[in-house]
Amino acid sequence: MQELKIDFNKELFYSFEEIVTWRRYLHMNPEISFQEVETPRFIAEKLRSFGIDVRENIGGNGVVGVIKGDSPGKTIAFRADFDALPIQDEKEVPYKSTVNGAMHACGHDGHTSALLGVAKVLSRKRHDLCGTLILIFQPAEEKPPGGAKAMIDDGVLDGVDYIFGGHLATDVPIGKVAIRSGASMASVDAFKITIQGKGGHGAKPHSTVDAVAIGSELVSHLQQIVSRRVDPMEPAVVTIGSFHAGNAFNIIADTAVLEGTVRALNSDVRTQIEEEIRRILDGFQTADGITYTLDYLNGYPVLENHREETQLIEQLVKENLSPEALALKKVVLGAEDFAYYLQHRPGAFFHVGARNENPATQFAHHHPRFDFDEQAMLVQGQVFLLLTAHYLL
C-alpha cells in the first residue's frame, strides 16, 4: 500500500498497536444501544489525554471532540458509532466479549478506535490546521430512533461545513474503499401489528375468529406488497420477523402479534408500503371481523451521499492509495442513521474492506462470530486524514 502524500500519515501507522489495543478493549467490554456508560467515558478520557477539548452527554451518551487549528478555515466533522448488539459472542479469541449477551458484531469498536487514532495524530498537528475538526462519537446507531438525530438536535452540526463517516465491511476485500453517489443504503421502518379475533375451543372453529389463521394469511398478503404493488425497478423489502399467538394446542387463539421491518431506497416507495399495510389491515377488518392496532415506527431515512463529496473521496483514494483501491459500493437494503447527518450537511459515507483470506474475517455483520482484519482500521483512518488534508491544510 502506498504511503499517503501527507506528513502525518506515518504517525497513524506508528499508533497501530495502540489502536488495536483500544479496539480489543472495546470488543471485550461492549455496551448495547442506549445503555452505553463506560464506552463514552473511555472515549472522553482518551480524547482528553490527547489534549482535545471534549463535550459529553451530547444527545444522550454522545461524545464530541474539537480540534481547532491555529488559522481560520472550514469546519469538517467525522463520525464514529460505538454501540454493540444484543448477540452472544461465539468467537474463541483472546479479546472475546466478556459481557453475556452483548458483542460488537458490526465493527463499531473498529470505527471508534480508528477515529481515536486519527484524533491522536491530528491533536499533535493542530498548529498546522486551517480550520476546525469535529470528532463525533455517536451512541445507539443500531436501534431506532438511533443516536444521530438526538445529537443533531443537540447542536452537533452547528457550524459544520461537511461531514463524513465510514464503516468497516466484511463483504469488501481488505485494502478497498467502496462508495457510491446518491442513494446507497435503505430507509428502515419497524411495525407491530396486533390482531384481535375471538378465541374458543379447538373443536369449534366456526364459533371463533381465528387470530392464527388470519395472521398467517396476513403474512402472505404483506409479502405481496413488494412483488405485486411496488414498481419492480424499485428495491424494497417487507420482512415479518416475529409471529406470536396462542399458548395451547386445543385453544383457538384470540390474539396474534406480528412484527416486521420495511426497507426502501425511495422515499415515495417507503410511504407507499406503509399505506399498503394499512389498506390490507383495513380489508381484513372488514372481511374477517377482526380489530387491529398498528404501531408503525418511521426509522432512519434513505442514506444519500452527496455527489461532489463522493467524487472527492474517489479522487483522494485513487491518487493516494491506488486506482485499484477504489470500488463501487453496491446498493444495500441495510440502513444507517448517518443518513440524518447527510440531510443537514454535505458529505458522504464510505465503506472500508475488512475481510482477508482468513475465514474468520468473512462472517456477515451481526453474526455471532463476526470479526475483521484490523488493518482495515488504518485504511479508514487514512481516508479521514486525506479529507483533513484536503479541507484543513
CA distance 389 to 268: 38
Average pLDDT, stretch 344-357?
98
Cell representation of residue 117: 487514532
Q: Which amino acid is at 63?
A: V
Instruction: Give me the pLDDT at residue 5, please.
Output: 47
Average pLDDT for 368-377: 98
Q: Mean per-residue pLDDT for 81-110?
A: 98
- For 113-137, give one letter per residue: b (16+ CB within 10 A) or e: bbbbbbbbbbbebbeebebbbbbbb
The annotation status of 106 as a binding-site residue, yes or no, is yes
Closest listed residue to residue 72, CA positions, set 131, 8, 12: 131
More confident residue, 4 or 287: 287
- Going by pLDDT thresholds of 50, 70 and 90, the confidence category of residue 6 is low
**CA–CA gap between residue 69 and residue 129 (Å, rounded):** 4
Residues in the chain: 393
Q: Quick check: 134 and 58 in contact, CB under 8 A?
A: no
Q: Which one of the listed residues 81, 141, 337, 371 is annotated catalytic?
A: 141
Residue with cell 387491529: 292
CA 31, 37, 40, 46 dihedral sign is negative
What DSSP element (H or E) covers 196? strand 187-196
Grid look-up 483472546 returns 94
Mean pLDDT in residue range 358-364: 97
- DSSP H or E stretch at residue 148: helix 148-153
Alpha-carbon gap, residue 16 to 2, rounded angstroms = 16
User: Which of 212, 195, 334 is CA-nearest to residue 261?
Assistant: 334
CATH assignment of 9-185+302-392, among 3.30.930.10, 3.30.2290.10, 3.40.50.720, 3.40.630.10: 3.40.630.10
CB 115 within 8 A of CB 78: yes
Task: Consult the annotation and say whether 108 binds a ligand.
Answer: yes
Output the nine-digit C-alpha cell for 140: 445507539
List all residues 6 or more positions away from 277 whose beta carbon is below 8 Å from its beta carbon. Answer: 191, 222, 225, 238, 262, 294, 296
Q: What is the mean pLDDT of residues 180-194?
A: 97
Active-site pick, 36, 81, 83, 337: 83
Percent of the chain with pLDDT over 70: 98
Query: According to the annotation, is 167 in a ligand binding site?
Result: yes
pLDDT digits over 28-61, tens only? Answer: 999 999 999 999 999 999 999 999 999 999 999 9
pLDDT band at 161 (very low <50, low <70, confident <90, very high): very high
Mean pLDDT of the chain: 96
CB 300 within 8 A of CB 188: yes
Q: Which amino acid is at 331?
A: V
Give the pLDDT score at 10: 85
User: Could you tell me the pLDDT band of residue 4, with boundaries at 50, 70 and 90?
Assistant: very low
Which numeric CATH code is attached to 187-298?
3.30.70.360
Got the DSSP string for 266-303?
SHHHHHHHHHHHHHHHHHHHHHH--EEEEEEEE----E
CB atoms within 10 A of CB 320: 19
CA distance 218 to 256: 11
Question: What span, in angstroms and rounded, lies between the C-alpha atoms of 258 and 242?
Answer: 6
The string of pLDDT tens digits covering residues 305-340 is 999 999 999 999 999 999 999 999 999 999 999 999
pLDDT band at 141 (very low <50, low <70, confident <90, very high): very high
Nearest to 288 by CA among 218, 183, 372: 218
Q: Which residues pair with 19 in a beta bridge?
A: none
pLDDT at residue 292 tops 60: yes
pLDDT of residue 58: 98
Distances (CA, A) of 262 to 180, 299, 310, 343: 22, 9, 27, 20
Domain ranges of the chain: 9-185+302-392, 187-298
Residue 201 among known ligand-binding residues: no
pLDDT of residue 7: 61
141 is catalytic: yes
The verdict on whether 83 is a catalytic residue reads: yes
Cell of 113: 478506535
Closest CA to 21 of 88, 80, 83, 95: 95
The answer to the question of whether 142 is labelled as a binding residue is yes
pLDDT digits (tens, 9 = 90+) for 226-281: 999 999 999 999 999 999 999 999 999 999 999 999 999 999 999 999 999 999 99
pLDDT digits (tens, 9 = 90+) for 57-85: 999 999 999 999 999 999 999 999 999 99
Predicted TM-score (pTM) of the model is 0.93
